[in-house]
Amino acid sequence: MFRKAGRGVTLTKFGKAFLRHAERSLQELEDGKEEIAQMLYPDRGTIVLSYASSMGFNFIPYIISCFYEEESNRQIEFVFEQRSTLETVKLFREGSIDIGFGSRTDDPDMFFSPIYKEKMVIVVPFQHPLATRKAVSLAEIARENLVTWKKCCASRPEIEALFRNANITPNIAYEVQDEVMITGIVAKGLGVGIVPRLLGRDYENVRMLEIEGQKASRTMYMIWPQNHFFPPAAERFRDFVIHHMAEFQAEKRKF
């Protein structure tokens, strides 16, 4: 490992090889100490979020920007994962995310905190005979090709429940992953769809119509496992979202 050189010593080739590994090990220890420090302090660290695609248009950018309005939160960083609700639940079980956003499922291991509601609307192509209307009933689109979510998506049961409550069997022609695909297929004249009217945003490629005779809406949730350990930064963000959205809904009710 060492050899004498005058009054000092130098490393042999074996010592130099060992030193490289020792330096890497020391760096790993320092990195580990820094990561633990980030997990222990609420004003810094990294939060991994998983969210449904519809929430990525406006809600996620909106709530992050509001969170950063408080200067003490600006050292907290985010990693974003756009996933379906079922995929989010899977990521929780793998221990790879801190907080999720999406629809509700029947999973008893998950806690769902309601955040806001999205009104459901019928979407048709601009050239569709119903496109000049403000509202249509489900009966009027019963024979149309319906574009909707795949069965593995958390929003699919809500669409099925709408038609079931109206005693209608829909003509499902296309099953896709998200709202973007639904409106994209509808825009090409291949069918009609039922999608949420996104928070603060309209679809630009289709005509949106009210659902006549039904108050149809979809609630979106913040999600985490029961008895879940939150790193302090993630816990701070979770509490911020709950309080901020409660105030947001209270302001809306004033008008």
Q: How far is residue 40's CA from residue 32's CA, in Å, rounded to a whole number?
A: 12
Q: Are residues 105 and 228 in the same domain?
A: yes
Query: Given the DSSP bridges, would you call strands 171-176 and 145-149 parallel, antiparallel or unpaired?
Result: parallel
Residue 21 is predicted with a pLDDT of 58
Residue 126 is predicted with a pLDDT of 95
Residue 15 is predicted with a pLDDT of 57
Q: Are residues 139 and 209 in the same domain?
A: yes
Residue 23 is predicted with a pLDDT of 61
Angle at the Cα of 152 from the Cα atoms of 151 and 157, rounded to 5 degrees: 50
Contacts of residue 11, Cβ cutoff 8 Å, sequence gap at least 6: 1, 2, 3, 19
pLDDT digits (tens, 9 = 90+) for 37-86: 555 666 778 999 999 988 888 899 999 999 999 999 999 999 999 998 98
Give the structural domain span for 27. Answer: 2-39
Q: Are residues 79 and 130 in the same domain?
A: no
Angle at the Cα of 109 from the Cα atoms of 105 and 111, rounded to 5 degrees: 65
Q: Are residues 123 and 52 in the same domain?
A: no
Q: Among residues 94, 76, 90, 84, which one has the least CA distance to residue 56?
A: 84
Q: Are residues 239 and 203 in the same domain?
A: no
Q: Is residue 125 pLDDT above 80, yes or no?
A: yes
Domain count, the chain: 3
Q: How far is residue 178's CA from residue 28's CA, in Å, rounded to a whole number?
A: 41
Q: Among residues 35, 84, 42, which one has the least CA distance to residue 238?
A: 42
Each as own residue / partner, the long-range contacts of residues 225-231 (CB below 8 Å, 24 or more positions apart, any chain) are 225/92, 225/93, 225/109, 225/110, 225/111, 226/108, 226/109, 226/110, 226/111, 228/92, 228/111, 230/98, 231/38, 231/39, 231/40, 231/45, 231/47, 231/98
Q: Are residues 48 and 22 in the same domain?
A: no
Residue 35 is predicted with a pLDDT of 56
Strand partners, 195: 121
Q: Are residues 13 and 52 in the same domain?
A: no
Q: Is residue 88 pLDDT above 90, yes or no?
A: yes
Q: In Å, how far are 8, 48, 64, 88, 91 from 94, measured between CA atoms? A: 53, 13, 25, 10, 5
Token pair belonging to 102 = 């999406």
CATH number of the domain bearing residue 198: 3.40.190.10
Q: How far is residue 117's CA from residue 226's CA, in Å, rounded to a whole number?
A: 23
Q: Are residues 103 and 62 in the same domain?
A: yes
Q: Are residues 169 and 246 in the same domain?
A: no
Q: Are residues 90 and 162 in the same domain?
A: no
Q: Are residues 155 and 211 in the same domain?
A: yes
Q: Are residues 125 and 212 in the same domain?
A: yes
Strand partners, 124: 207
- Mapping DSSP to helix (H, G, I), strand (E, B) and coil, where does residue 152 land? coil
Q: Is residue 255 pLDDT above 50, yes or no?
A: no
Residue 61 is predicted with a pLDDT of 94
Q: What is the mean pLDDT of residues 144-169?
A: 91
